[in-house]
Each structure stands twice: as structure tokens, then as C-alpha cells.
Amino acid sequence: MRLRSRLRGLVALAAVIPVVALPASAGATTLFGSGSSAEQPILNVLFKAYNKLHHNVRFNYLPDGGNAGVTDVQAGRRLFSVNTRAPLPSDAGTTYFKLWLDGLCIAVNPQNSVSNLTIAQTKDIFTGVFTNWSQPGGSNLSSTIDPFGRNSSAGLYTFFQQAVLGGATQSSNVAQETSDGLVATNVSKDPNAIGYIGLANSGKGSGVKRLSINGIACSQTEIKSETYPLFRYAWGVYPTNHPSTAVEKFFDWVRKSKQAGQIINRGGAVAAFNNK
């Protein structure tokens, strides 16, 4: 009998706990999003800063790639997505909203003396036409080129494919890494390496050397003035029909507010529309 009454007590307790816990979490909304993994570091800081201003708004972000993120929004699985390529006809049902600017840098190991490449030379390297560092010229090395890149599920690869390769697929000798950070790590460790990395992951502490493309450096000023050829916008994506007002307010804050602009600049991207 003692055991049974104890059991009854436990069951009663278990039923009470969710009732007590419910009011505590009521009022907090979690906004579910997905998309680009290259922009995730900046997004995480933005989420935290917005949460400090609006305590009842929390975010849950899945970095499954820009293309997958758009499909998530179209299917109604996510409230918003962040993508790094311009809208295509296949993105029907979604609205694209410019958030900030980002650049695609071509980076080599610091031991490599090459400092400038044309887009045509970069395309030749990543399509397997140039296989040795003596071919593009400007390098102190005469060893085989080790190209590093992303696999076909990454939004950064789609951007690189359109902007540099002109729609061609990258050669099979490009090692396919699953994230921006891994490409940067591999390029920083291999003297013969070259890779395409987002602006955020190729900064001073990453151990890679950014190249200038067509004579223009991959830096914040060049990207903001849109003179650097490999720039792109980070787009916020939300459904055209019945978008969430919380998401729209967040995107407005990201695009216009001074605090968000500081976060974006500090994160290695370029604030395009924010108040100073």
C-alpha cells in the first residue's frame, strides 16, 4: 500500500509539473529558420543581440545550406531563411529582402607569393586547366596546385559556380569540404593550396592570404562600393503569403539599425543599408 500511494503521489507530481511550467514559457516565441552556413556566425550574434532587446523572441537556426533553406520556407517548414544568392524563378512563393553584403574571397596559403589573379585564371585553376603554380604566373612555387572547395549542396558553391566558373562544374580534383571553416583550415595548412572562402572566414586570424581579383582587393571597402567582382548580398527569405510579423520586424532591425550594422561589420561582412 505504501508503494502504491507513493506511486500515486509521483504520478500526481508528474501531471502538475507541465501545468506549472507552461505559464513560465508562455509569451516566448521561437522563430525557426534555416539556410546559409557561411552567414551563420554573424546570424548567431544578431540573434543574441535581438533577444537582449526583445526578451520574448528566441531563434532556432539550422544551417543546412542556402538552397535547402529556401525549399524549407516554400514547404512551410521554416518561418524564414537566409540565402546568399539572388532569387531564381524556382523560388516562387518567397520574398527576398536584402540584409547585408558579403564577399567571396579566393585565398591561398601565406607561403605562396601570388597576390592577384584574374577571374579567367581562377576559373582555369578550379576547372583543372591549370595544374601547376608556374602556369598562372606570379607565384614563387612550381608545385602542383591543391584546390579546395565545397560540395554541391553549399550555397557558396552555387555562387562560385555562377560568378567564376560561368556555370561549369568544378573539376574533380577540388577537395570537397563540408564547411567554410574547414576550407580555411586546409588552405592554411597546405602551402600549395587555393580555396574559395567567405569574407568572414578568411580574415586576419584564419591563417590564409586573400587574393585580389582583377586587381581589386577582397576587403570591406571594395565590396561596399561594389567594385570587387565577387560580391553578393545576404538575403532574408520569408513566405510571400502570411509572413510572420516577428520575422519582418527582425529583418528590418538587421537591415536598418546601427547596432546590427556594427555586429555585421565586426563579423567580417559589410553593412550595406544600416544607419551609422
Nearest approach, Cβ of residue 47 and another protein (Å): 21
Among 119, 182, 216, 246, binds another protein (CB under 8 A): 182
> At 24, which helix (H) or strand (E)?
helix 2-25
Taken in order 238, 158, 189, 112, the sign of the CA dihedral is negative
Among 177, 180, 218, 263, binds another protein (CB under 8 A): 177
- Amino acid, res. 263: I
Select 132 or 140, whichever has its Cβ closest to another protein: 132
Restricted to residues 88-117, the positions that interact with another protein (CB under 8 A) are: 90
* Contact between 189 and another protein per CB under 8 A: yes
Among 11, 75, 120, 168, binds another protein (CB under 8 A): 75
* Contact between 131 and another protein per CB under 8 A: yes
- Stretch touching another protein by CB under 8 A, among 25-33, 145-153, 233-241, 257-265: 145-153
- Stretch touching another protein by CB under 8 A, among 18-26, 96-104, 176-184, 256-264: 176-184
* Contact between 87 and another protein per CB under 8 A: no
Helices 245-256 and 40-53: crossing angle in degrees, nearest 10, is: 110
Among 40, 51, 95, 171, binds another protein (CB under 8 A): 171
Asked if 112 and 139 count as a contact pair (C-beta separation under 8 A), the reply is yes
* Percentages (nearest 5) of helix, strand, coil residues in the chain: 40, 25, 35
- Stretch touching another protein by CB under 8 A, among 11-19, 20-28, 69-77, 214-222: 69-77
Q: What DSSP character marks residue 145?
A: -
Residues 6+ apart with CB under 8 A from 74: 91, 92, 93, 94, 239
Among 56, 118, 173, 275, binds another protein (CB under 8 A): 173
Integer Cα distance of 260 and 38 in angstroms: 18
Helix (H, G, I), strand (E, B), or coil: what is residue 155?
A: helix
Residue from 269, 247, 203 nearest 81 by CA: 247
* Contact between 144 and another protein per CB under 8 A: yes
3-state secondary structure 217-249: CCCHHHHHCCCCCCEEEEEEEEECCCCCHHHHH
Select 64 or 248, whichever has its Cβ closest to another protein: 64
Cell of residue 186, nine digits: 586546409
Among 40, 51, 176, 257, binds another protein (CB under 8 A): 176
- Amino acid, res. 35: G
Nearest approach, Cβ of residue 100 and another protein (Å): 22
Select 90 or 245, whichever has its Cβ closest to another protein: 90
Q: In 113-263, at which residue ranges do the beta strands (DSSP E only) sit?
A: 116-117, 146-150, 175-177, 193-198, 209-210, 212-213, 231-239
* Contact between 191 and another protein per CB under 8 A: yes
- Stretch touching another protein by CB under 8 A, among 23-31, 144-152, 211-219, 245-253: 144-152
The footprint of another protein (CB under 8 A) covers 1-2, 4, 64-65, 67-68, 71-72, 75, 90, 128-129, 131-132, 143-148, 151-154, 169, 171-178, 182, 185-186, 189-193
